[in-house]
Amino acid sequence: MSVSLSLTVNGKAARAEIDPRTLLVDFIRNHLALTGTHVGCDTGQCGACTVLIDGNAVKACTILAAQAEGSKVTTIEGLATDGALHPMQAAFKECHGLQCGFCTPGMVMSAIDLVQRHPNADEKTIRAELEGNLCRCTGYQNIVKAVAQAAAAMRR
């Protein structure tokens, strides 16, 4: 048994016949070959699989692909415009808000959602809002710095 899926991913129409049990993260990685969305814990705890669905951060391992029917999904691969990094990506690079990079795509996606909801977030708010994204390499200081820098750039 399969279900029809139709959604927009990074501005492009995506249609497929999928097993109804397919998780969104698996659809993104295996059907669309967009491997920037990482699978970390498979339980929604680490945030490595975070994508934007209709502009809101969602952990893609926590929903079925069929639940995204008709939605606009943005992955880390869809952020750059004409080769220019999104302000959040640029800030993570400039502030060295990463080490191994495994958590970075999900962290960036969550941070974009955070800044959209809290454009003037202070350090305490940034740290609280990113609690659902785990990084095992950094002390989060440069991640917080990157989010604050990107927030300023995104307000312009």
Kindly state whether residue 81 falls inside one of the protein's structural domains. no
Instruction: Please give the pLDDT value at position 42.
Output: 85
Above pLDDT 90, what percent of the chain?
97
**Can you give the pTM of this predicted structure?**
0.95
- State which of 76, 97, 131 marks the end of a domain: 76
Number of separate domains in the chain: 2
Q: Are residues 10 and 58 in the same domain?
A: yes
- pLDDT, averaged across the chain: 97
Residue range of the domain that includes 56? 3-76
pLDDT in tens, 45-63: 999 999 999 999 999 999 9
DSSP assignment of 86-135 equals PHHHHHHHHTT--SS-SSHHHHHHHHHHHHHH-TT--HHHHHHHTTTS--
Reported confidence tier of residue 139, pLDDT bands at 50, 70, 90: confident
Q: Are residues 57 and 95 in the same domain?
A: no
Kindly state whether residue 82 falls inside one of the protein's structural domains. no
Instruction: Please give the pLDDT value at position 138.
Output: 86
State which H helix or E strand residue 7 sits in: strand 3-9
